[in-house]
Amino acid sequence: MHLRYAALRTAYIIWVIKMDDELVVDINCVEHTYAGGVKVDICGKEFKVKRGERLAVLGANGSGKSTLLKHILGLIVPNSGRVTVFGKDPARQYDEIRSRIGTVMQNVDEQLIGPTVFDDIAFSALNFGLPRAETHRRVEAILHALNIYDLRNRLPHYLSGGERKKVALAGALVFKPELLILDEPMEGIDYASRREIAGFLGALHKETGMTMISTIHDMNVVSNLADKGYVMKHGGKLDLYGTITGLFFNHDLGDYNLAPPPVVTLIKELRLKGFDLHSTLDLNNLCSQITAILESRLHP
Amino acid sequence: MHRVPAAIKMIALALIILLLLNIQTIPLLSAMLAAVILIAITAHLPVKTVFVLMLYPSLFLVILFFSITGITVAAVLIIILRVFAITGAVVVFFLTTSYPAIFSILSRFLPGFMIAALFFTYRSIFIISDSLNNIRTMFHLRGGINYRHPAATLSRLGTALGHFLVHSIEMSQRISDALKVRGFKNRIYHLGDKNG
């Protein structure tokens, strides 16, 4: 009995380790040419995303971030190279992985399809074959979780930018995807909505371990959405890879037309003035470090 | 008017249209048009908007009158009154009924793909009108219209129209992408109003 239990436990641990290490997305030097002749060649660092990771693709406007997401979503066919999502080729086998991927597109107005907010959130879940009663239950739950229950009967067209983003996010999450794709999730929304959405996504990742890939050009919100990131050069070259803190502190992102958050600039300036500060993106942490240094200098 | 159930309004609209198509006298048609306008006013609808929307078919009326000959003044009046009364009734119906409600009723007897097509047409009108307004505003702000140089203005208008066309094509591609990733299967669902 003990042996059987131990064998089962070992099998479970192996399965968990395997799941943890499972590659969700694997992109190897893909090239795509748009109708206008613009060529985007996504190469450089290998683009690999493991299960449970929160990853950001950073780059200036027009660098090729959205093209990378289109490859993952199977919306464009590469001229050359290889894209694998959950072990499948998304451009050819998207139907097999569609229900495992939730997407919030850059222009959410074009993504909102349902006649009402409730219908829109239920849209994908019903398309993926979830029973109506279960869909109702899940839509109600996500409406409450994102604090948009009062919007349930509203027409999507008349919502504000922040409200539309939340509805699109709810629609992407209602069928509990394993991978969440966010194309510029914080673009065009106010500060309060940004904080709310970032807080919600952070909590969701902690609770479910959902794999998340975001494209971001506003560096102030990156640390809320990702732990690791790639920096993309104009034309699609994946030039840098590392933790978000490492990318900001160990590289000059100005070369990539990206401005680091003010907290990074402040720490770098203070280091030049002789302050021994640890790298952090958390303003409260920086304040504590400065307070501790000043106190030690005042009361040695 | 806003509180009357959509189904009843739809039946009433169908009856009014049938009635208007059968009335052949100018006084009766005038009375019907007046009644439609009175309903719009009592329903607190923006009268200016109602009138602007009622004017749209006038373009087709002009084409019609240019293309037929030997028509009497009475016949012209009858056609004009009939068209405006029907358009007015339809406009009042749409402005007092939410489109999910209209959609819900149509879903009961039309096939799914037709509902989806109707719905996308309706939804696109909003998105395209926003886009058109933006282009129009930019055209004005950037001095696109110069009454002293009509030829240049026309040429710029052509460019703006081309820009709008390209923008619309790109937008339809993005909507198609969104439908693909959201698993669209030729059906739009309306689950009814959620209360409580």
Q: Tens of pLDDT along A240-260? A: 999 999 999 999 998 899 989
pLDDT reported for residue A85? 96
Q: Which residues of chain B make contact with A152, given a CB cutoff of 8 A?
A: 194
**A233/A65 Cα distance (integer angstroms):** 10
* Sites in chain B below the pLDDT cut of 70: 1-2, 192-196
Report the chain A residue with the minimal C-alpha distance to residue B99.
A115
Q: What are the residue ranges spanned by the domains of chain B?
A: 6-97, 110-181
Q: Is the pLDDT of residue A167 over 70?
A: yes
Does this model's pTM top 0.90? Answer: no
**A7/A15 Cα distance (integer angstroms):** 12
Band (pLDDT 50/70/90 cuts) for residue A264 is very high
Chain B nearest C-alpha distance from A209 (Å): 22
Q: Tens of pLDDT along A82-128? A: 999 999 999 999 889 999 999 999 988 889 988 889 999 999 999 99
CB contact under 8 A, B178 and A105: yes
Q: Which residues of chain A make contact with B177, given a CB cutoff of 8 A?
A: 70, 73, 75, 105
Q: What are the residue ranges spanned by the domains of chain A?
A: 5-259, 261-300
Q: Are A98 and B183 in contact (CB under 8 A)?
A: yes
- Report the residue count for chain A: 300
CB contact under 8 A, B175 and A110: yes
Chain A contact for B80, CB < 8 A? no
Number of helical H runs and strand E runs in chain A? 11, 10
On whether ipTM exceeds 0.90, the answer is no
Closest-CA residue to A282 (of A236, A220, A234, A229): A220
B180, B183, B189 member nearest A119 (Cβ): B189
Q: Phi/psi class of residue A176: alpha, beta or left (left: φ > 0; alpha: ψ in -120 to 50)?
A: left
CB contact under 8 A, B177 and A113: no
- Residue among A76, A119, A120, A128 with most chain B CBs within 10 A, to mutate: A119
Q: Which residues of chain B make contact with A144, given a CB cutoff of 8 A?
A: none
C-alpha angle with apex A72: A21 to B128, nearest 5 degrees? Answer: 145
Chain B nearest C-alpha distance from A107 (Å): 9
- Residue among B182, B185, B193 with most chain A CBs within 10 A, to mutate: B182
Give the pair of three-digit tokens for residue A293: 């240094």
Chain A contact for B57, CB < 8 A? no
CATH class of A5-259: alpha beta
DSSP state of B102: H
